[in-house]
Structure 1
Amino acid sequence: MLDRIDFALLSLLRKNARLPNKELAEHAGIAPSTAFERVRRLLSTGTIQGFHAEISPAAIGIQLQAMVSVRLARHSRGQLDSFHRHLASLPEVLAFYHVAGADDFLVHVGVRDSNHLRDLALEAFTERPEVAHIETRLIFEFRRNPELPDYAGRVT
């Protein structure tokens, strides 16, 4: 279970994963050695799953983003695994979610332009035998929330 210090460290790292250990410790009100050991433990237990850079889409040529809803024709383990591997292999896929409801997947894609999006929809989705239906929604803006919800019932 996470305590208030773990939660403080996670909140600080969520907002700035490049925060130096000394500053991290200072903001959390603990010694630098304690901060270092706590972060190391959070990594080893899988609580922290990685550190990532937020990259400007335009800087890498992404001019258009969309969320593609995908409905599968069948729901066998083999088809799900195959579709997971397929999505993970596409450079245009920024993230994907296996969801419950009318659709089976939500796929966040980044492309050069509308022609690229059309070609991706045709080649990467509608031509797949396991796909029954897709629906595409353009994304006008994306922002990540740096705040963490606290549902773990941490000890204070």
Structure 2
Amino acid sequence: MDDGAHAGLPNYLRSFTVDAVDVEIIRILAADGRITNVDLAAALGLAPSTVHARVRSLVERGVITGFHAAVDQRALGKGLQAIIGVTLRPGARAGSIRAFADDVRRLPQVLQVWFVGGTDDFLVHIAVEGTSQMREFVVEHLSAQQSVASTRTSIVFEYHRNTVTAPFR
């Protein structure tokens, strides 16, 4: 738990001890976020009240930041996914980093946005119906922005999320 040295700081600035039981709870929840507390407790060999308290603590401390549904984008008619590397113009970077991230992540085609170091400034994960919608997304929502210097698109053939597999067919 918190050693007291970080009292009063927001959770994301505190350092917490995560023990072996917490790690196992996280592993099981990452594989199945819908597991019941009773089943989670049985898998760990602990009392349900103990597991409930530990999960609540992990959430309150910001170790677990949410529980998410894994969505098959193909079932929604979005069978093409891509990761688009975006490089911002050097002179526009300081003021445009936050604005770019805020604008792009609100677009319905966007699944995830990462601000990264390296060749690209951002990686944008999208799901669209087909190649014409991908082209439209890149041209209208990325290349059209004054702050964007270049884009580089990689098609996603298959991906695996932690222990949850989401194959493309």
TM-score over 0.5 for the pair: yes
Paired residues in the alignment total 147
Q: How does 1:1-156 map to 2 (within 5 A)?
A: 1-74=17-90, 76-146=93-163
CA distance in 2, matches of 1:145, 1:84: 24
Partner residue of 1:152? none
The runs of at least 4 aligned residues of structure 1 exceeding 3 Å deviation read: none
Partner residue of 1:153? none
Task: State the structure with bigger RCO (CA 8 A, min sep 6), 1 or 2.
Answer: 1
Superposed displacement of residue 102, structure 1: 1.2
The one-letter amino acid paired with 2:51 is A
Superposed displacement of residue 114, structure 1: 0.5
CA offsets, 1:86-131, max 9 Å, x none? Answer: 1111111111111111111111110011100011000010000000
CA offsets, 1:18-77, max 9 Å, x none? Answer: 111111011112110000000011111111100001011111111111111100003544
- Secondary structure of the residue that 1:143 maps to in structure 2? strand
Mapped contact 2:30–2:162 kept (Cα < 8 A): no
The one-letter amino acid paired with 1:95 is Q
The one-letter amino acid paired with 1:23 is D
Mapped contact 2:81–2:156 kept (Cα < 8 A): yes
Structure 2: gaps (5+ residues): 1-16, 165-169
Mapped contact 2:93–2:147 kept (Cα < 8 A): no
- Secondary structure of the residue that 1:11 maps to in structure 2? helix
CA distance in 2, matches of 1:78, 1:84: 11
- Secondary structure of the residue that 1:68 maps to in structure 2? strand
